[in-house]
Copies of this chain bind each other. A is one copy, B any other.
């Protein structure tokens, strides 16, 4: 029998073998109920005998549906994303979709380029923590179904993780522990999440009459956290809330290097629960909801693909404080 060579058996060969039109072969696969049972049977037999497998690419070109979606993230290796990616995969799989993964390297231009490269082979796109401008995002969204994660653009379906709630809780937690002077170590100034977190600490600290200062770590990294320690200490604070867990770990390392005990002498809170309870002492942090965000974004996209309607939906996921081992009573309390 004909082995499956590349560029294999086509619909025409099956049609000829079964003595029907090409369209019937097509229908036998996509709308069998439109054909008489015997015809379907005959076609399937012929197909089987010839080793026919429908060509995905041709079908996609014709229908515009490829059964693929794309997910673009700024950095696959940032521990915040893998769980989200995984959740998105699982959800896409439930609808029998395959997912393209794109990595923008935190670069708006590369993100734009990726969007272009995926266009034409995916039915919809999920953009997580995009670095792209609102304009470009809107432009792409006009071309095809697009869902945003952690970016608030009016009119475009989006899933927002509200780290503000968790950060607020963290601030309250520190206040209860007796801390009166705290610092927020901020992340990328252009990041939507950073703005949100910063605003949340400010608000919560204000309500409780805490002294609040800011130290900037521009890039969220272990190094940046490490280097922020001097500035933090200079503010006379007894606790710090970091933009994310990786930065928080850098701060912890810097503190340890100076012989400052955590949580005895100083308290540290991270954000995103990227590390889990993995570290010693385990990091007090804010839950990330990234798994739910990934799942929700995909199911939203699937809905859009079904209904062809792109309504202006905005889902907000609240976060919460996870108290672990890096926060304690303020010294002298």
* Residue A319 is within 8 A (CB to CB) of chain B in the complex: no
Taking each of A6, A64, A75, which has the highest tally of chain B beta carbons within 10 Å of its own beta carbon? A64
Chain B residues in 8 Å Cβ range of A58: 61, 120
Contacts A57-B61, A58-B61: A143 and B100 contacting too (C-beta < 8 A)? no
Contacts A7-B143, A143-B4: A53 and B120 contacting too (C-beta < 8 A)? yes
* Residue A79 is within 8 A (CB to CB) of chain B in the complex: yes
Chain B residues in 8 Å Cβ range of A282: 253
Chain B residues in 8 Å Cβ range of A76: 82, 85-86, 89
A256 with B277: CB separation less than 8 A: no
A60 with B57: CB separation less than 8 A: yes
B57 with A120: CB separation less than 8 A: yes
Q: Which of A111-119, A195-203, A206-214 contacts B (4 or more CB under 8 A)?
A: A111-119
Copies in the assembly, this chain: 2
Chain B residues in 8 Å Cβ range of A142: 6
Residue of B nearest to A255 (CB): B280
Residue of B nearest to A226 (CB): B277
Interface residues of A in 83-97 (CB under 8 A from B): 83, 85-86, 89-90, 96
> A280 touches which one: B100, B144, B249 (CB < 8 A)?
B249
Identify the A interface with B (CB < 8 A): 1-2, 4-8, 51, 53-58, 60-64, 66, 68, 75-79, 81-83, 85-86, 89-90, 96, 98-103, 105, 116-121, 139, 142-144, 222, 246, 249, 252-253, 256, 275-282
